[in-house]
Structure 1
Amino acid sequence: MYQLEVQGGTLSVSSGADMEVLAEDSNELRLRADGGLPVVLRFEISGTELLVGLGERFGQLEQTGRRWEAAITDLLHGHPEDTYCYVPFLLSSAGYGVLLETSARALWDLKATDPRAWSVSVAASPFQLRVFRGQPKAIIAAATKVIGRPPLAPPWAYGVWKTTLSGTEAILSEARAIMQADIPVTACWTYDYYDEATNTGCGLSGSYPSGSYPNLSNLSNRLHDLGYRVLGYVQPAVFVGSQPFDEASREGYLVRRANGEPNLFPYNNPKLRPDIPWFSEPGAAYIDMTNPAARSWFQNMLQGALDMGFDGWMQDMGEHLGDRAQLADGSLGAAARNRYAELYHQAAHEVWSHRKDVTVFARSGALGSIAKVNAMWPGDQHADWTSDRGLPSVIPAGPSIGLAGVTAWGPDIGGLIDGRDGGAGVRDEELWIRWCQYGALTPIMRDHLGFKYAGGAIDMWSGDRTVAIFRTYARLHLALFPYLWRLAREASDSGIPILRALLIEYPDHPEAWSINDQYLLGADLLVAPVTIKGAVSRRVWFPPGVWISWWDDTRWEGTGWREVPAPLEQIPLFRREGGRVELSENPDRTLGM
């Protein structure tokens, strides 16, 4: 057993495994754990504490009382407490943080079984662990040095991205319409193409019309001529029936089953059944990123996407490695689930990282992948108001992944799919407006037309009010660019994110550790999204100081709870008196293109 003094009392660290002290000073204890599997570590504090972290968490920021197996999961098919991105870093209100330097699966019991202590059972050995002491900012700065900080995304990444679908001519027509409507959009993102030569695109347009893409290079060039950046779509699977699948299967490039056959998993497949909207039949297999030849083959295809003029892409998926899948290095999917995401993003990073103007946004992640993508998004939510799958569920995701140093981050405005309300959510203009407001006040403002088959889905073009709302909040987002860009540069040096949990700035207040529906942009903007249908006001917890309404200069005194106005056209947004929020009066939508 090891004991060390932290702000909240005496912390005891014990294990049945062998533990060796590698280094210790006033700020950090570094141990090596070795022994039989699993390695079980137990942490007990003499005082009280609240616990946050473990990557991107949905529905609830504070994790005390949860018991969770850390294996990344596609949340459309997983439990709401699962995650796309797992980082084994836990932060305590008692003045310490713990980082495990392993991507192995682990079972975290955060005082669910024993209210006196939390434990973690790790299915790998040996590994190092670090116990940091101090305030959250200092701990996050130290931990992100070890985790690896994301590369700095280019300035344009902090602009406004608009989904554009339905073929070359439809996209170009919409790009011109956006300009004519005076909506400041920086980048056009498309995903409904499928380019077999580069294995990019998903070939699915959801409830929107399909269209042809005769020449993606030409489309990129024409959008560039209009002043837009261009984003595409990448994932690590190949479709059954495609030329890449046939080649990969022949050459032994695919993750396989015990019988040697490709390990297929349910996935929409534009080659076999482009009319099937969801993962209803075995349609794809993952490229084996542990096979050096397969890795190089994947990278050559990805280089082709850059050569077509894309300025980046959604780097989707990475969580579907089945437990019985077999990889070329001898590992099984059960043990390699988290590591596969690391290998995937590392392989892609080697292709694009020499290009400082490229933005790659991923949803999957593990310990070693945070430093290999320069943007992230929180995966797939339902277009509804539910706390476990809808708009409210995604609010804590940004503050929680920020604890691991993720900087350029933003949600799918509008959600991805029909909710469990018979499609009412996709047709709910109020829901879309609240999501748009929230998305505008994250580092990346990006909508997603998604796969909403209930009919009548709301998007930017649905009516005069939706156009006006998107225009207003796109202008606000771009006006904030000088502030966001300063914070982004600072984050690349310090590890302190742009989108911050309240606890980063106000660690001595228990509310800052447990509030799920507020966050800070930098230190000087307080954001309180509206997540309840029909609400025209909401309770806001104001940290110490004076906070001034963005909309009417009303002054709100902290510390404490206040009921504030929240008319449909306005998200509760406050600037800290005495703070520094740089603004651009006439922002260039291209952000220097």
Structure 2
Amino acid sequence: MNAVKYFLVVLVYVGMYLNLFGQSQTPEDCFAYTVDRNEVTFHCLDSAKIKLKLASSSVIKIWYAPDGKFQRSNESFAVINEELEEISNIQVSESASAYEIFTGPLRIRVNRKPFQLQIFDKWQKLLFGGYQDQGFQYSGTEVKAVNLLRDDEHFFGLGEKSGSLDRRGQSYKMWNSDKPCYGINEDPLYKSIPFFMSSYNYGIFFDNTYLTEFDFGASSNDYYSFSAPDGEMIFYFIFGKDYKEIINGYTQLTGKPIMPPKWALGFSQSRGMLTNEALSREIATGYRERQIPCDIIYQDIGWVEGLQNFEWWKERYQNPKQMLSDLADDGFKVVVSQDPVISQSTIQQWKEADSLGYFTTDVRTHKTYDMPWPWGGNCGVVDFTNPEVADWWGQYQQKPLDDGVKGFWTDMGEPAWSNEESTDRLYMKHHLGMHDEIHNVYGLTWDKVVTEQFEKRNPNQRVFQMTRAAYAGLQRYTFGWSGDAGNGSNVLEGWQQFENQIPVALSAGMGLIPFWATDISGYCGDIEDYDAMAELYVRWLQFGVFNPISRAHHEGNNAVEPWLFGDKAEKASKKAIELKYQLFPYLYTYAREAYDTGLPIMRAMILEYPNDPEALKAEHQFMFGQELLVAPVTKQRAKVKQVYLPAGEWINFFTGESYEGGQWIGYPVTLDDIPVFVKSGSIIPMMPVMQYIHQVQDYPITFRVYGPDDPSSFTLYEDDGVTNDYKKNIFSSTLVTNTLGNEGQKIVTVERKHEAREATPRSIIIELTIKSSPKRVSLDGQKLKLTNSKKIVESEVDQEFWSYDKNSGKLHIKFSDSDGKRKIEIQ
């Protein structure tokens, strides 16, 4: 490619797809087809071809080649499996007007003249179709798909995006951008996940890494479109009976999300200038002295002496190995930041990488691209698309791991300051292509190297890696956080940015980022009045503890430890953090479900209630798993939180008060309150509060059994929490069921269903709310003794009792966990 080509690329981006190459064209009439196992290629006039590949009966790969050449510059960065079912010898029905393919759940129709692709379900309902004869368009290098838009059609997805969950009437771009203090409708942001779902029971993954655009009816009420200025028109149609099935189909294509180590689901503390040993020890002491649970202390980029040589800054860390050891003895894990660049002032490493050709290059000079960086001076951008870079980088990043560091957060991987207007970056050349193609996947290629090198050098250990910039497929390597949220002009006015984090989180979850975090307190803005900031901090934290990964973080030296915001804020924060730890068994069970299915843990209401129109409106609350509904308070000085309860009975998690669903309720709140409701008929596993995850190994498990006499169940998942053995299905599971016997007695059973690791002796406590004290409680047919509630908690593992508190209506039954099935009967 020559300099003229690069200049034209720049003009395309600056001019927002100015038509430099003439009029847009569409495929002409199709006159023939060929079949090759699970692929059908349709031949059209002017050499155009459209290939349909049946990855399964419900997932169709669609590839439009205007020149008839099915070639791509790089294999997909996201899709790792296109053979989801064994399909061969596709039968094509041919008529004068169309070709048709029947897959079981789908009927695919290709109209011959003019060309038009339509996909129906087996009941002949049109799900997806090209708009008139304009379904596919190309102009020069630009490709575009234009599709029929129905009046009642809604769209969700695109990963981590701001604004309303419903994308209808809006347009979006995919261009990983460094947007500190981003607005509530700002676009694009840090991650590019070109996958969305329609209320017409299908999803689309547009597998193009360029600056793609999505117009969901912003331009017309008759059609929507997705397009790219270059690359291939390849997309996958994913059919599902609901959004969960569609997400599962996308997961099969792009890979399962890795599970974090168990301690990653605890609470963590960070700040921009948490970059020295003394401060790290001081924060650790502060948590333990106040008995506020915490598992992780982060170190931001200033921990390194040179960017990015992975050497501790000697003036800031007197004895880093001893620090890490001492913190580990007190239950703390340390996670450090890494950037994807090497500063020119880190002379030895920069010269090494430059001589080996490990940097991106500038096509104008054919030398290492000179990248301005927010700190450390100008840098070379490490080219992670070069296979030779991986081992080299892995050797460097292993140094702090050998010292005792437990993981990384990969920051600034856009790479930093690379926004749409940064057109000079387009002169950057990577091993696998020019920057316009690689930009959106740059962070993903880095995350891949970090994880694969970690696993190579730390066999069978789970990686902890949390990333800011990425592309579809990131779930195979990393977790995500939402970047620099908050109000930089006035931190106290960050309420809207905070509220916006809820739909951002839920959208991220639907884009296969189940393990996600917000910067609790918001990253942006100087905190000058901690008393004035206290309410916003507490409310952000009350939302943040329901993020699978919970981190308090703020820019610069703005400290955001809970005790800095006053006694009331500290008390409310401690209560919220303790709740996170109590719910760990429940959360960890859903972490496994996320691995198995791709379903998020924080779920938009529409995932659980897709046919409820009000669920679509309730985008500032969410389901936490299937059983818990969480509605964080997001308004300043709020006295009441409006909560939507879907049909059925709902129970206040804290008070036991019952509510009839199918309505919005006004829920009274104080600073301490997080509105949390349990779906009636649920069973919630819990553990005692600990100062860090599994501080006590043989802790009792409490199963809270809620609601009516209808049968209910919950399967608790457990594994060692630190190895990759979960991928080999080495785990334990316990099935708890709640039913009603023939004589009206309540029956609760506890049964080990899967035991693939050594079990720790422990107690099990069953907690129910009933109106009066039972006449009899038996375990495995033997009458249990009645005792007081305090003794239930304090008794030894092998002691078995029951107690009833008439004031709260709580019945507790304690017994030892053992192999086989335990049966409790309550008369």
Question: Same fold by TM-score, threshold 0.5 exceeded?
Answer: yes
Residue among 246, 256, 259 paired with 1:152: 259
1:297 pairs with 2:402: no
Aligned partners of 1:313 and 1:360 also within 8 Å: yes
**In structure 1, C-alpha distance between the alignment counterparts of 2:629 and 2:303, rounded to whole Å:** 39
Cα shift readout 1:174-209 (whole Å, capped 9, x = no counterpart): 312321211111222222411439634998xxxxxx
**Residues 187-206 of structure 1: pairs in structure 2 closer than 5 A:** 187-191=296-300, 192-196=302-306, 199-200=309-310
Out of 137, 142, 160, the residue aligned to residue 38 of structure 1 is 142
Task: Give the structure 1 partner of residue 318 of structure 2.
Answer: 214
Query: 2:341 and 2:543 mapped to 1: Cα distance?
Result: 32
8 Å CA contact retained: 2:307, 2:343: no
User: CA 1:299–1:340 in structure 2 vs 1: closer, same or farther (change >3 Å)?
Assistant: same
Structure 1 residue 360, shift from structure 2 partner: 1.0
TM-score (structure 1 length as normaliser): 0.87
- The answer (yes or no) to whether the contact 2:495–2:536 under 8 Å persists in 1 is no
Q: 2:507 aligns with which of 400, 404, 408?
A: 400
The residue that corresponds to 1:130 in the other structure is 237
CA separation of 1:520 and 1:285: change in aligned 2, threshold 3 A: farther
Determine the C-alpha separation between the residues in 2 that align with 1:168 and 1:423: 25
Following superposition, the deviation at residue 334 of structure 1 comes to: 2.0
Displacement of 1:452 in angstroms is: 6.4
1:247 aligns with 2:352: yes
- Displacement of 1:498 after TM fit? 0.8
Consecutive unaligned residues in structure 1, runs of 5 or more: 3-14, 204-209, 272-281
* Contact in 2 for aligned 1:168/1:211 (Cα 8 Å): no
Of 533-542 and 242-251, deviating more is: 242-251
Provide closer, same or farther for how the CA distance between residues 264 and 432 of structure 1 changes in structure 2, counting only shifts above 3 A: farther
2:674 is aligned, of 566, 571, 583, to: 571
Judged with a 3 Å threshold, the aligned counterparts in structure 2 of structure 1 residues 167 and 52 are, in CA distance, closer, same or farther, namely same
1:334 counterpart letter in structure 2: D
Aligned-partner Cα distance in 2 for 1:127–1:98: 10
TM-aligned CA deviation for residue 309 of structure 1? 1.3
Instruction: Assess if the C-alpha contact under 8 Å between 2:292 and 2:691 holds in 1.
Output: no
Does structure 2 conserve the Cα–Cα contact (< 8 Å) formed by 1:425 and 1:431?
A: no
Q: Structure 2: how far apart are the matches of 1:395 and 1:202? A: 36
User: What SS is found at the alignment partner of 1:349?
Assistant: helix
Is the contact made by 2:494 and 2:522 (CA closer than 8 Å) also made in structure 1? no
State the one-letter code of the partner of 2:451: H
Quote how far apart the aligned CAs of 1:590 are: 3.3
Instruction: After TM superposition, list the pairs within 5 Å mapping 1:209-358 onto structure 2.
Output: 212-243=316-347, 244-257=349-362, 258-269=364-375, 271=376, 283-320=378-415, 321=418, 323-329=425-431, 331-353=433-455, 354-358=459-463
Higher strand share: 2
The change in CA–CA distance for 1:202 and 1:69 in structure 2 (over 3 A counts) is: farther
Distance 1:573 1:330 in 2: 48
Relative to structure 1, the CA distance from residue 458 to residue 348 in structure 2 (aligned partners, 3 Å threshold; closer, same or farther) is closer
| C-alpha displacement of 1:588 | 6.0
Deviation at 1:554, TM superposition (A): 2.6
| 114-123 vs 38-47, which moves further | 38-47
Among 599, 606, 625, the alignment partner of 1:522 is 625
Q: Determine helix, strand or coil for the equivalent of 1:338.
A: helix
How many matched pairs? 559
Q: Does 1:429 align with 2:538?
A: no
Whether contact under 8 Å (1:432, 1:458) holds in the other structure is no
**Residues of 1 paired with 2:337 and 2:382: CA distance?**
16
CA distance in 1, matches of 2:573, 2:316: 28
Alignment of 1:157-176 (within 5 A): 157-163=264-270, 165=274, 167-176=276-285
Change (3 A) 1:255 1:42: same
In the TM superposition, residue 369 of structure 1 has moved relative to its aligned partner by 2.3
Q: What is the alpha-carbon distance in structure 1 between the residues aligned to residue 149 and residue 693 of structure 2?
A: 51
1:507-540 alpha-carbon deviations (Å, 9 max, x no partner): 0123323433111110111111122211121211
Q: Indicate conservation of the 8 Å contact 1:502/1:512, yes or no.
A: yes
- CA spacing shift, 1:326–1:97, aligned 2, 3 Å: same
Instruction: Render the CA deviation track for 1:307-361: whole Å, top value 9, x for unaligned.
Output: 2211112111211255424224262222211121221111111112344343111
Local SS of the residue matching 2:656: coil
| One-letter amino acid of the structure 1 residue matched with residue 365 of structure 2 | N
Task: List aligned pairs for 1:11-22, cutoff 5 A.
Answer: 18-22=49-53
CA distance in 2, matches of 1:571, 1:91: 30
Instruction: Please give the secondary structure, in 2, of the residue aligned with 1:395.
Output: helix
Change (3 A) 1:77 1:484: closer
CA distance in 2, matches of 1:522, 1:457: 29
1:151 aligned partner, one-letter code:
I
**Could you tell which deviates more after superposition, 26-35 or 306-315?**
26-35
Write the deviation string for residues 229-264 of structure 1: whole angstroms up to 9, x where unpaired: 221111212223113334333443222322234434
Aligned with 1:67 (options 171, 195, 198): 171
* Aligned-residue offset at 1:506: 0.4
Q: Give secondary structure in 1 for the equivalent of 2:519.
A: coil
Task: Report if aligned partners of 1:235, 1:317 keep a CA contact under 8 Å in 2.
Answer: yes
How many angstroms does 1:457 deviate by? 6.9
In 2, Cα distance between the equivalents of 1:412 and 1:393? 13
Distance in 1 between residues matched to 2:539 and 2:564, nearest whole Å: 16
Match of residue 646 from structure 2: 543
In the TM superposition, residue 390 of structure 1 has moved relative to its aligned partner by 1.9
Letter in 2 for 1:21: L
Q: Structure 1 residues 475 and 114 mapped into 2: Cα distance closer, same or farther (>3 Å)?
A: same
Give the C-alpha shift of residue 477 in structure 1.
0.4
State how far apart, in whole Å, the 1-side matches of 2:450 and 2:605 are: 33
Cα RMSD after superposing both structures: 2.9
Amino acid at match of 1:233: S
Which secondary structure state, in structure 1, belongs to the residue aligned with residue 643 of structure 2?
Answer: strand
How far, CA to CA, are the matches of 1:240 and 1:462 in structure 2? 41
Aligned partner letter, 2:325: N
- Give the structure with higher Rg (CA): 2
- Give yes or no for the alignment of 1:105 onto 2:211: yes
Q: Distance in 1 between matches of 2:244 and 2:352?
A: 49
For the Cα contact (< 8 Å) 1:262–1:285, is it kept in 2? yes
Q: Shift of residue 287 of structure 1?
A: 0.8
Deviates most, 260-269 or 341-350: 260-269
Amino acid at match of 2:447: H
> Equivalents in 2 of 1:524, 1:265: separation in Å?
49
Q: Distance in 1 between matches of 2:65 and 2:338?
A: 38
8 A Cα contact 2:310 2:399, kept in partner: no
SS at match of 1:170: helix
Is the contact between residue 213 and residue 227 of structure 2 (CA under 8 Å) also seen in structure 1? Answer: yes
Unaligned stretches of 5+ residues in structure 2: 1-26, 30-43, 67-137, 698-721, 723-827
Q: 1:265 to 1:97 in 2, by over 3 A?
A: same
**Aligned partner of 2:412: which letter?**
M
